[in-house]
Copies of this chain bind each other. A is one copy, B any other.
Amino acid sequence: MNHYVSHLEAAIDGTVLPFGRLANTHTGRPIWVRYHLDEVRAAVAPAAIAARAPSLWRYRELLPLPLDQEPVSLGEGMTPLLHCARLGNQLGLSNLFVKDESQLPTGSFKSRGMAAAVSMARWLGVKRVALPTAGNAGGAAAAYAARAGLECFVFMPHDTPVVNQFEAQLYGAKAFRVNGLINDCGKIVKDGAERMGWFDLSTLKEPYRLEGKKTMGLEVAEQMHWHLPDVIFYPTGGGTGLIGMWKAFAELAELGWLRAEGPAGGGLRYPRLISCQAEGCAPIATAFAKGERFAELFPNARTVASGLRVPVAVGDFMILDAIRASGGTAAVGAEAKIAGWMQRASSAEGISICPETAVCFDVLERMAAAGEVKPDERVVVFNTGAAPKYLEAMPFELPTIDKGAVDWNLIER
């Protein structure tokens, strides 16, 4: 055996599916990867992982790629977990951390999922991949496909941020704008899968992007010395990262790698997951509030946080199950506060905060003020991408100085 996967499992009904051949969905719903965790436990310990290179592939036994296969890698991970004392102080929090995913290849967390998915696709014989994207997934898919030597087709709504359009072309993808929304793009990918011989890389429509995203949870745990934070704020579009982290924590618990909290004999404590969406596109928050397990399509989706422009998520029930199991909640941030929070958080800490994460800070501020997050709780906010990928989200204009007559009062303003 050269991997630790036991089988695939349909998330909606537990149907067991075979590993080792191409898979997309089961009855239109996502598929889990399951591992022989007892064998992983026997094969590797946290101390061995600590000695490995700082890449998400350090968790190799918890990833699906066979051990004799070279990953498709651009050097992804580990990303820093940055303590934010100044911003925490403003919010009344002494243990505020930002997990800065902007430092990944292509400047966003999407690289984690694509590293795993493209590695698996190449191994399973795929030659061309396709996906719809409203933001960073297109650039990440294009980059990993290029690294793997696969063809990549990317379809994005016409109002996708200009940097995302630029990067798809940079990496040599066959990239197109579509006069519609992301679901229109998704339909083209679906229709083309058979006609064009594409493998569909859409969010949660193959099993392995989820496994790559899972490494966010593995890294947080390792960086906190195998303790978990008390609360996680996560901007939720398709929700793969949130679902993946929850899966990671469960696997770590079963492995026995997590440390108990409090005095000896104390049990494990899992973080409360706070799923954050923008008011202009909040299907998960809406379903959560109604107590439902499945989310309805959010009409007229509209937000400058392009990664949150996901009106319907195929993994809705997985997201909602995880939030509820964690004792967390799904909340909504104000559109009008996005640009302000990008600048406020970025200038407080020097971290490049994207609009999706700005939404998280709006939610966090409200919850901290209401006492729903306690002052000494360990809070981790995920910064899922680099702010300059969203030029459209924060209007700016620099004042001009005349070199011949420098206005020192303007400079001191």
Contact = CB atoms under 8 A, between A and B. Distances in A.
Contacts of A37: none
A187 B406 CA distance: 10
Contacts of A51: 51
A170 interface: yes
Interface in A170-198: 170-172, 174-180, 184, 187-188, 191-192, 195-196
A155 interface: yes
A348 B142 CA distance: 11
A69 interface: no
A401 interface: yes
A188 B401 contact: yes
A163 B398 CA distance: 12
Nearest to A183: B403
Contacts of A195: 408
A402 B155 CA distance: 11
A195 B409 CA distance: 11
Contacts of A54: 53-54, 78
A86 B150 CA distance: 12
A342 B170 contact: yes
A177 B401 contact: yes
A66 B179 CA distance: 57
Interface string A373-413: 00000000000001111010010101111110010101111
A398 B347 contact: no
Nearest to A148: B350
Copies of this chain, whole number: 2
A6 B162 CA distance: 50
Interface string A320-353: 0000000000000000000000110011111110
A104 interface: yes
A403 B188 contact: yes
Given A80-B74, A105-B103, A143-B352, A387 B174 contact: no
B106 A403 contact: no
B78 A74 contact: no
A172 B144 CA distance: 34
Interface centre among A153, A195, A402, A411 (most CB of B within 10 A): A411
A28 interface: no
A221 B176 CA distance: 42
A327 to B, nearest CB: 30
B170 A398 contact: no
Contact of A401 (B74, B155, B342): B155
A176 B397 CA distance: 9
B412 A196 contact: yes
Given A105-B103, A346-B146, A413 B74 contact: no
Interface centre among A144, A396, A398 (most CB of B within 10 A): A398
B147 A350 contact: yes
A403 B191 CA distance: 12
A172 B343 CA distance: 7
22 contacts: A74-B350, A103-B103, A105-B350, A106-B352, A142-B350, A143-B350, A143-B352, A145-B350, A146-B348, A155-B401, A163-B388, A170-B343, A170-B346, A170-B396, A171-B346, A171-B350, A172-B346, A172-B347, A174-B411, A178-B400, A178-B403, A192-B411
Given A146-B350, A147-B351, A196-B408, 16 more contacts: A73-B82, A74-B82, A74-B350, A75-B79, A103-B103, A153-B411, A155-B401, A166-B391, A169-B396, A170-B396, A171-B346, A176-B400, A177-B400, A178-B402, A187-B403, A188-B401
